[in-house]
Structure 1
Amino acid sequence: MANPYAGEVALVLDGQRHVLKLTLGALAELETALGADSLIALIERFEGGRYASRDVLALLLAGLRGGGWTGSPADLARAEIAGGPVGAAQVAAQLLSRAFTVPGDDAV
């Protein structure tokens, strides 16, 4: 079960539930993958609705890796994501939000 107080979010890939979490290593990987100047710039992209599908996939991949998933970017790109593109974007935004929220402030 995903623990929102630990910054975790659940995602269903190919019918299997996974727990995602943005660890420090996963965040560093994410910055590199997206060529972001900072994590604040990435957060602003999502808050402003200016994100691309590659941003969503990179964020999900970083979260999956932070949760212990060993799949590849190609595996994620081929996977059936519950909720489709909208569901994927919602999980990505929730993951980013939980990574930078003090527990109890916004843990839903």
Structure 2
Amino acid sequence: MANPWAGEVEVTLDGERHAAKLTLGALAELEAELVAGTLIDLVERFEAGRFSTRDVLMLIVAGLRGGGWQGTAADLLRVEIGGGPVAAARAAAALLARAFTVPDAG
């Protein structure tokens, strides 16, 4: 369902698959929600393994919204994410990586 070449990551909510993507609008929304720092600080936290559950939640919400989902962080707190917290953290990291990586031309 999700197209990694388009920067998409699959996230399953209550058994339903969704394509998540950090579009420019989603990144702007994410940056506005950061308590401190910038997107670069967020990337550095993930690279160093110092990210918080709030970081994961914000990234998943932003990615889902970039993929067309109309929910909020409060909605995400009430659903089961397929694969649990570990899968959510992996999806958040993949969203960040794919947002700032240009795919090889061939």
1:92, distance to aligned residue in structure 2 (A): 0.4
Moved over 6 A (4+): none
Instruction: Determine the structure 1 residue equivalent to 2:89.
Output: 89
Mapping for residues 60-75 of structure 1, pairs under 5 Å: 60-75=60-75
**Superposed CA RMSD:** 1.2
Q: Figure out how many residues of one structure are paired with residues of the other and give that number.
A: 105
Q: Deviations over 1:18-48 (max 9, x none)?
A: 0000011100111111134321111001010
Between the aligned partners of 1:34 and 1:84, the Cα distance in structure 2 is 23
Provide the secondary structure at the position in 1 that maps to 2:77: helix
Alignment TM-score, normalising by the size of structure 2: 0.94
Gaps of 5+ in 2: none
* 1:27 corresponds to 2:21: no
Mapping for residues 39-58 of structure 1, pairs under 5 Å: 39-58=39-58
Between the aligned partners of 1:39 and 1:64, the Cα distance in structure 2 is 17
Alignment TM-score, normalising by the size of structure 1: 0.92
Gaps of 5+ in 1: none
Aligned residues: percent identity?
68
